[in-house]
Structure 1
Amino acid sequence: MFPLLQRCCFHMPFKLQKSTSPRLLLHGNNKTTWSSVGLCLQRDACHLSRSPSLNPASVYATKLQAFHTSLPFLKKKTPKESETKDPGVWQRSMKSLKDSPKPALYLSLAGLIPFASVPLSMAVQGTYYPELAFAQITYGAVTVSFLGGMRWGFALPENSPAKPDWLNLANSTIPPLLAWQALLFKDITHGAIMLVMALGIALHYDVSLLPTYPRWFKVLRVVGTLVMVLSLLATAVLKTLLENQLSDSRNKCQNIK
């Protein structure tokens, strides 16, 4: 009897189910069909519950597991450790700067003293010294030439990532040429501006354009370039301000006389 009911209930054609279901739902005329369908479902459930592979304990455990299981997209995503502890650019740069070799770090910082001392001494004394300004420009030209020639030393070894091609070797000669041009200017302001351009080009080569140096050296180059550029611009600004103050004081003295 059960196989016959099962074939009648669950293996009837789809067209027959589609044609009879609206009538059953809307009018409720064929109560015998409804009762047979319910009887089939009830017997089917009893047959499944009596199956040897599904005992009551396993069915209960499956229901609990289904009840306590949430959808994947509703689960709260825990942030990765790299996302929660991702340091900023400043922290990474400072860490790279601390990881640099001590001789390179200390010598580079010591090489910035002649740049920073010139505008600092002028600002403290309130007087513009042309000799000190020209000495700063000369030291800046030597530094720019050193930064340009350093590319040759980096490209010549056999295992170097930078090849001794036209791009590396020819670009390394551009900063010395700009430094030489800076020494030809009679005005200190023009020489300072030319050195600022040469320092910017050399930094662009070392950091982004050509095959790069280690990370600690790139951070050291950025810090050193900022100090040199600010020192040269400070000297140019102090030259303009202090010379204007000196000319104003001379004019007042002449007016008094």
Structure 2
Amino acid sequence: MFPLIQRCCFHTPFKLQKLTAPRLLLYGKNKTTCSSLGLQLQRDVCPLSRSPHLNVASIYATKLQGLHTSLPFFKKKTLKESETKASGVLKRSMESLKDSPKPALYLSLGGLIPFVSIPLSMAIQGTYYPELAFAQIMYGAVTVSFLGGMRWGFALPENSPAKPDWLNLGNSTIPPLFACQALLFKDVTQGAVMLVMALGIALHYDISLLPTYPRWFKVLRVVGTLVMVFSLLATAALKAISEIEQSNSRNEWRSTK
């Protein structure tokens, strides 16, 4: 009876059954012995006679389990890791500024004084001066033109890694064109927006298209661009606030009449 059950359940080959039959006769009819023998036969026979469908199913189940397992590089970074990385980048950037030549550093920081002083003085006095705002737009247009022409000086030397091709020399003319358009606007806000766009384009050229610039120069360019952009936007915001106050005062004056 047991060989028949073994053949049906475990799909044991006929030759293997003949080899295991004498072992059954030696152990007798004890139930405990038969059960232990059955477990032993199951361990010995199952790896040989297991159906291939079961192996495929187990492999498929393992793959499905792997799909629901999150890999380490897909896990989100913790807040501490992101803060540590940001602080490390900021620290390296500040250290690279120390490597910059003193004339380049001081002249660049000194060139930002007209951008910052105009909106700061108007905010302190609480009065918007259109002449000062237009002077800031003019100074910004000159600065943008200088940043565009700087690429010519970098690409023209013989040993320069940047070639004097259409890409380098042609892109350097785009910021001055934006600066000229900013001066043609009668509205200071439109001119400030045009200069912000020109500063962004010039920064993109210096950071992405010319990676051979030294690191201290790239950091200096980023810091200077941010200061100029926020100064221009501050002037535009002060202009909008003054216009709102003037309209409110006119409405009050009309209501009193």
TM-score band (shorter)? Answer: 0.5 to 0.7
Is the contact made by 1:206 and 1:212 (CA closer than 8 Å) also made in structure 2?
A: no
Within-5 A mapping of 1:52-201: 88-201=88-201
Q: How far 1:111 moved relative to its partner? A: 0.6
TM-score (norm 1): 0.66
1:256 aligns with 2:256: yes
Gaps of 5+ in 2: 1-17, 28-83
User: 2:161 is paired with a residue of what secondary structure?
Assistant: coil
Tell me the equivalent position of 2:77.
none
Aligned residue identity for 1:148: G
User: 1:88 is paired with a residue of what secondary structure?
Assistant: helix
Q: How far 1:27 moved relative to its partner? A: 5.8
Answer with 239-248 or 149-158: which moved more.
239-248
* Structure 1 vs Structure 2 CA RMSD: 2.7
How far apart, in 1, do the equivalents of 2:231 and 2:160 lie?
Answer: 33
How far apart, in 2, do the equivalents of 1:228 and 1:135 lie?
Answer: 14
Cα deviation 1:66-87 (Å, max 9, x = unaligned): xxxxxxxxxxxxxxxxxxx987
Cα deviation 1:97-135 (Å, max 9, x = unaligned): 121111111111111111111111111111110000000
How far apart, in 2, do the equivalents of 1:251 and 1:97 lie?
Answer: 52
How far apart, in 1, do the equivalents of 2:163 and 2:201 lie?
Answer: 19
How far apart, in 2, do the equivalents of 1:27 and 1:122 lie?
Answer: 109
Aligned residue identity for 1:246: Q
Q: 1:139 to 1:21 in 2, by over 3 A?
A: farther
Count residues with an aligned counterpart: 187
Tell me the equivalent position of 1:205.
205
Q: How far 1:21 moved relative to its partner? A: 11
Q: 1:27 to 1:242 in 2, by over 3 A?
A: farther
How far apart, in 1, do the equivalents of 2:255 and 2:111 lie?
Answer: 46
Tell me the equivalent position of 1:218.
218
How far apart, in 2, do the equivalents of 1:27 and 1:115 lie?
Answer: 103
TM-score (norm 2): 0.66
Larger radius of gyration: 1
Tell me the equivalent position of 1:238.
238
User: 1:164 is paired with a residue of what secondary structure?
Assistant: coil
Gaps of 5+ in 1: 1-18, 29-84
Is the contact made by 1:118 and 1:136 (CA closer than 8 Å) also made in structure 2?
A: yes
Q: 1:22 to 1:187 in 2, by over 3 A?
A: farther
Aligned residue identity for 2:209: L
Q: How far 1:185 moved relative to its partner? A: 0.3
Q: 1:144 to 1:27 in 2, by over 3 A?
A: farther
Is the contact made by 1:152 and 1:169 (CA closer than 8 Å) also made in structure 2?
A: yes
